[in-house]
Amino acid sequence: MPPPTSDPIQARLEQLLRDYGARVRRLLQSHGLDQRGIDPADVEQEVRIRLWRAIERDRSAAFHASYIQRVVATTVVDALRRAEVRAAEPLPDEDSEASPLPDAAAGPDRQASDSERMDDLARCLDSIPERRRLPITLHLQGFSLQEIADSVGVSAEAARKLVSRGMDELKSRLRECGHGEFDE
Amino acid sequence: MVNSMNDNRLAQLYRDLTARSAGPVALDADTLVAAAAGTLPADRREAVAGRLAASPSEAELVRMLAVLEDDSQALAADLARYDRSHGRRHDRRTQRTAAPAVRRAAKVRWAGMGACLMAVLGLWSTHRIGPGSIDGSSSGIYAEHKNDRIFTTKDSIFAWSNGESNVADGPDKLFRSEFNGS
């Protein structure tokens, strides 16, 4: 990043990028992307640097919102890929001091139970026809009815019906697998 | 929303399941931005939706980009204003620095034109005093064209050819009168 400047217009530009970067960092945290092995502060810094370089490279260029969005998306994707590579690297030796401690909140019983539930959930979802499965999985992934409607290519009302009926069907199948507590 | 409490528990379980099996990020930045803006072409919508449903990190990123869109538009508008302000300042600075340079360039231009004029006048005057320019006769400053006689066979001093002198044998006419008293 450039050194602090006394030029008011330059200072204003720096402030704009700082504010935007801070907004990106907050959204990364609120969307839980910091739980995926990336550091929001690093991403914020990288977004600011990339935007700054783009502005310096071509001052006469018009920066559309979609371009700025792409800069953010590229930066986050790069960070996620780096995190995946780090996660795939072999664990340190046992005698090294950085050996991770097991999660105390998740005991062995709970971990086994969650694993069993996940396997049953995957089986139940696989048994639902594709056309109804996609709206359910998008809903479970946190997309709104309108977003699901846009993705599947139906109206919002049709998406609501698809999700509602699909969830009922999924719960019914889970109940058959012995997971009645989902229906409480 | 459908039975929200159970949906939340199911959703968390589903996200844990997909986080375990999603694999590396598969969608590129352009696709993610288009998905967030709802501008994906119809023939790609379902495939992208399927990927987003199977990858919690990409799904979160798309949702984040959708929320960030207003901020990105505001930043784009601010940058356009910055560009105009910067452009005006740049123009004023250019004008300030350009004025003396323009004056210097004008001086150089006039000096160049004067030098050209002098050169033309010089050539013209030289041509006027050249040979035959006044009365059709040769000027005294030009040497008359004659053959070189120093090393030709007409040279009476060094004109030897194959050891024979071209000079006719005879008495020395130069000192003759002084030695014989005639």
DSSP B140: T
Residue-wise pLDDT for B84-139, tens only, equals: 666 555 555 555 555 566 677 778 888 888 888 888 888 888 877 655 444 444 44
Distance from the Cα of A90 to chain B's closest Cα (Å) equals 17
Domain span including residue B73: 7-103
pLDDT mean over B3-9: 62
- Inter-chain touch A151–B49, beta carbons under 8 Å: yes
**What was the pLDDT predicted at A145?**
93
Q: Is this prediction's pTM over 0.80?
A: no
CA-closest candidate to residue A121, choices A167, A160, A184 = A167
pLDDT at residue B74, as a whole number: 94
| The predicted structure's pLDDT at residue B98 | 55
Q: A62-102 pLDDT, tens per residue?
A: 789 999 999 999 999 999 999 988 877 766 655 555 444 55
C-alpha A25, offset from chain centre:
13
* Confidence tier at B144 by pLDDT (50, 70, 90): low
In a domain, B121, yes or no: no
Residue B108 inside a domain? The answer is no
Considering only CB atoms, which chain B residues are within 8 Å of A170? 10
Residue B165 lies in a domain: no
pLDDT at residue B3, as a whole number: 43
Q: Assess contact for A28 and A40: CB atoms under 8 A.
A: yes
**Residues of A with CB below 8 A from B16's CB?**
114, 118
Is A108-177 a domain of CATH 2.60.40?
A: no
Task: Quote the number of domains for chain B.
Answer: 1
Per residue in A96-125, pLDDT (tens digit) is 554 445 555 556 666 667 788 888 899 999
CA separation for the pair A76, A128 (Å, rounded):
33
Amino acid at A11: A
Average pLDDT rounded to a whole number, residues B18-45? 90
- Confidence at B22, pLDDT banded by 50, 70, 90: confident
Q: Does A60 touch chain B (CB under 8 A)?
A: yes
Average pLDDT for chain A: 83
Counting one residue from chain A and one from chain B, the pairs whose CB atoms sit within 8 A come to 174
- Determine, for residues B68 and A27 on separate chains, whether the beta-carbon distance falls below 8 Å: yes
Are A81 and B24 an interchain contact pair (Cβ–Cβ within 8 Å)?
yes
For B:56-115, CB contacts with A below 8 A are 56-57, 59-61, 63-69, 71-73, 75-76, 78-80, 82-83, 85-87, 89
Does residue B178 sit within a domain?
A: no
Where is pLDDT greater, at B83 or B20?
B20
Structure tokens given for A109: 């019983």
Q: Tens digit of pLDDT for each residue in B58-99?
A: 999 999 999 999 999 999 998 888 766 665 555 555 555 555
- Answer for the pair A149, A156: CB distance below 8 angstroms, yes or no: yes
Residue B125 lies in a domain: no
pLDDT band at A135 (very low <50, low <70, confident <90, very high): very high
Q: Which of A46, A53, A72 to mutate to test the interface with B (most CBs of B within 10 A)?
A: A72
Quickly list DSSP for B11-40: HHHHHHHHHHH--S--S-HHHHHHHHHT--
Domain extent listing, chain A: 8-88, 108-177
Whole-number Å distance between alpha carbons of A148 and A134: 9
Nearest CA-CA partner of B57 in A147, A43, A36: A36
B24 in contact with chain A, both atoms CB, cutoff 8 A = yes
Question: For residue B160, which phi and psi values (nearest 5 degrees)?
Answer: -110, 140
State which residue of chain B sits closest to A146, comparing Cα positions: B38
pLDDT at A28: 95
Residue A154 buriedness (CB in 10 A; 0-12 / 13-18 / 19+): middle
ipTM of the complex: 0.81
Q: For residue A104, give the DSSP letter.
A: S
Higher-confidence residue: A177 or A39? Answer: A39
Compute the distance between CA of residue A73 and CA of residue A33 in angstroms, rounded to an integer. Answer: 12
pLDDT at A164 > cutoff 70: yes
Question: Is residue B58 in some structural domain?
Answer: yes
Cβ-Cβ contacts under 8 Å, A33 against chain B: 57, 60-61, 64
